Amino acid sequence: MEIFEIVTYFVLLLLITTAVRVVTTSNVIHAAISLVFTLALTSVLFLLLSTEFVALVLVLVYIGAVIVLFLFGIMITRAPLGKNAELDNDKNKKLGAAIAGSIFFLFSYILVNGFDGEVVITSGSSTELLGEILLSRFVFPFELVSFILLAALIGGITLARKDEALIDEDQV
């Protein structure tokens, strides 16, 4: 058990280091790469909690898709290398710290109070259980979330699209 705990604390330490680096660096690509490591380490934490499915979803969706889209966007809009001075926002540092701190205390209070070290899953694989719960007890919220995502998707396309340009096929 001891080695397991040592590994966990080591991962947590690395996680905090990389997470801090995401917000302190003034190079936007370095921030994105630090975010990759933050997410990868979070995924390792989920693995240590033996929830393989969540860990892999984190890798597939966040690292594989979201970060790649981040990088894609950065490369299109900010191709020059180097530091971006406007990434630092000194005025709101105190406000940011206050908000981050309160969110941290709120989450830890809810988690500690709500579960209190209780083992929720006792038998069967967590993946099977997750699938069953998602499609039985939580089927309505699940469908609702996909509906909201669809709405966001359509909204995004409507905002980004210029119809005049698309009608004229030669300009595409």
Partner 1 sequence: MTEVLIKVGLLAGAALTGAITFTIMDVKGASWMQRRPGPLHVGLRGFIFPVAEILKFIQKEDIIPTEVDRPVFKWAPAYVMVSCVALFAVVPLSPTLVVADLELGVFFALAISSLGTIGVLTAGWSSANKYSLMGGLRAAGQLIAYELPLILAVVGVVIQAETMSLVGIVEKQIEWGVPFVVGGQIVGFLIFMVAATAEMMRVPFDMPIGESELTMGFMTEYSGIRFLIFYISEYMNMFILCAIASTLFLGGYHVPLLPTEWVNFYGPIVLLTKTAILGFILVAIRWSQPRFREDQLQNLAWKILIPASLVNILVTAIMKVGF
Reduced to 3 states, what is the DSSP secondary structure of residue 12?
helix
Q: Torsion over CA of 96, 10, 67 and 80, rounded to 10 degrees? A: 80
Question: Based on CB atoms, which residue is closest to partner 1, 23 or 66?
Answer: 66
CA distance 39 to 58: 7
CB of 96 to partner 1, least distance (A): 26
Under a CB-based contact definition with an 8 Å cutoff, are residues 32 and 70 in contact?
Answer: yes
Alpha carbon 80 to chain centroid distance? 26
Binding mask 4-43 for partner 1 (x = CB under 8 A): -----------------------x-xx--x--x-------
* Segment contacting partner 1 by CB under 8 A, of 16-24, 63-71, 145-153, 160-168: 63-71
> Of 37 and 142, which has the nearer Cβ to partner 1?
37
Q: Where are the alpha helices (DSSP H) in 1-138?
A: 2-24, 28-48, 52-57, 68-77, 93-115, 126-135
CA distances (Å), 68 to each of 15, 162, 171, in order?
Answer: 20, 25, 27
Please report whether residue 67 would count as binding partner 1 according to CB under 8 A. yes
Tell me how far, at minimum, the Cβ of 77 lies from partner 1, in Å: 12
Per rule CB under 8 A, is residue 127 in the interface with partner 1? yes
Please report, as ranges, the residues that interact with partner 1 according to CB under 8 A: 27, 29-30, 33, 36, 52-53, 56-57, 59-60, 63-65, 67-69, 71-72, 74-76, 79, 81-82, 125, 127, 172
